[in-house]
Chains A and B, each alone.
Chain A
Amino acid sequence: MRDVFFLLFLLATLFMAVKRPFLFILAYCYVDIVAPQRLSFFLLNTIPLSQIIFFFAIGSWLVADKKKGMQIDHLQVVLILLLAYCGVSTVYAEFPVEGASKWDWVWKALLWSIFLPLVLTTRLRLEALALTMVLSAGTLAIAGGMKTAMGGSGYGSLQLLLDDNSGLFEGSIFSTVAIAIIPLILWLARYGTVFPKSRPVWIFAILLVFACLLIPVGTQARTGLVCAVFLVVLGLRDSKRRMTYLGIVTGAALIALPLVPAAFASRMDTITDFRSDQSASTRVAVWQWTWNYALEHPLGGGFEVYRANELRVNRVETGEAGDAVNREIIPYTDRARAFHNSYFEMLGEQGFPGLAMWLYIQIVCLWRMEKLRRRYRESPPDVAWVRPLATALQGGHLVYLMGSMFVGIAFQPFVYMLIALQIGLWTYTNRRETEARWRPLTAQLGVKPPPIVGTVPANQSRWGG
């Protein structure tokens, strides 16, 4: 039944895309996030669905898209360089077979993020991509949130549509993504034009936000809790009534605390005492190993290089004997421990040049969104959506960077779509501003042009109507 539904959904989408080829691009984003071929049992899992939609998307764009307003941004060039660098590092990887399997999906994510900004030439396209990303990720969030609300949660046991702990379906990774999309959900509810602001839209948006907040509880991923707290702090930036905001957040936390499962509370306790937690103390050891490895191999060891590590770690066990508290140091050895940190993942796998390119992309995106936030602080109604979108994208990106401290998601395809959305918003606003600044020669020479009936006066719009 599920297979038939997915098939019908895809056929309907492809049918609609014949009239509007941009929908093929949205269809690929959907396939990349939800992966219906992995959720299918017999129909879609037998065909290379992702490749088929990819070729439809690129082919229709080449043939049928007007490409009006298309611009190439320097961040796309940096992404091309990063892609090339990763390709070379894969050739010389310490683990060529395992590295090749990661390269197999990384190049697609990077290529797609290079391509996407080229097609984000209108406001509606930006919104459509944001909506597709939110609804696609929302599929996992609603399923996970409802299971958590019904008591079906647990560390490593919450099944997000698929019994597979890889990619977006992994608990910690999806916890980060679920929190990162909350600002985008709220932006769509307030400024969306596909589903304009209304009571049902707001109700759905609030329920979806609630489902996203339940994901860290359901997966019991500490990363998710850290990201959620970080997002709350970020919310203070634009809050006009900070005390009210803090009061609401505190009240919600006090109501929620007794309702969270005991297992979740005890797991979150380990955040403050990392020495007693084997997972956390091993992570610190991996990061130390990666730093030393990078000093010896500054160009990186290629994908999956963490497999080379062998760590000698001490874990502190605390026990009580009568009134005394005993702390026992237990040494143990761990091998092939994953990075659990995107910054060290980049450093170990792609070396200092790869890390520099990756950080450059992140910093420029954040800086640009900040610029847009300031530039559009006071803006007329027709562009009132720009600043909140920049704020939402920046907030989501900052949450991702916070989550990246605890999970290796340096090449997560969803995040590269978020980056593409930021590049698209930047090039779009720049183009519209340039168009608005353009004046006919007669105006520049001081000759008053004849009035044109039926156009909006330039002073009523930031972009000149």
Chain B
Amino acid sequence: MIDALAILTTHMLMLVAFWRLRERDDLDDEAAADARHAPPGFLPPRPRG
């Protein structure tokens, strides 16, 4: 019973952690994640006509 509780607690936390890691851009590339979240450097192009 105690073993089951210990396994359940830590493994559920690991699953949540893995899920959150899966959603994080900065897991693989910090520079790309920064760039994606940085504000745009230039104004959007003006509509023509």
| A contact residues vs B (CB 8 Å cutoff) | 1-2, 5, 9, 12-13, 16-17, 19-20, 22-23, 26, 30, 39, 65-66, 68, 122-125, 128, 131-132, 135-136, 138-140, 142-143, 146-147, 150, 161, 194-195, 204, 452-455, 465
Contacts and interface: CB of A to CB of B under 8 A. Distances in A.
A432 to B, nearest CB: 9
A132 B24 CA distance: 16
Interface residues of B, number: 33
Interface in B1-49: 2-11, 13-22, 24, 26-31, 34, 38-42
A429 B31 CA distance: 14
Give chain A's interface secondary structure class: helix
A371 B3 CA distance: 41
A181 B15 CA distance: 20
A194 B26 CA distance: 11
A30 B22 contact: no
B10 A455 contact: no
B14 A20 contact: no
Contacts of B18: 12-13, 16-17, 23, 26
Nearest to B39: A454
B31 to A, nearest CB: 8
Nearest to B4: A2
B17 to A, nearest CB: 5
A139 B28 contact: no
A135 B38 CA distance: 33
B27 A125 contact: yes
B9 to A, nearest CB: 6
In the complex, which of the residues A19, A68, A124 has the most CB atoms of chain B within 10 Å of its own CB atom?
A: A124
Contacts of A19: 22
B6 A122 contact: no
A66 B41 contact: no
Contacts of B15: 9, 12-13
B22 A143 contact: no
A437 B28 CA distance: 22
17 contacts: A2-B7, A5-B7, A5-B11, A9-B11, A12-B15, A13-B14, A20-B27, A22-B28, A66-B29, A131-B17, A138-B6, A139-B7, A140-B6, A150-B2, A161-B6, A194-B21, A453-B42
Contacts of B7: 2, 5, 39, 139, 143, 161
A193 B13 CA distance: 14
A132 B14 contact: yes
A9 B18 CA distance: 11
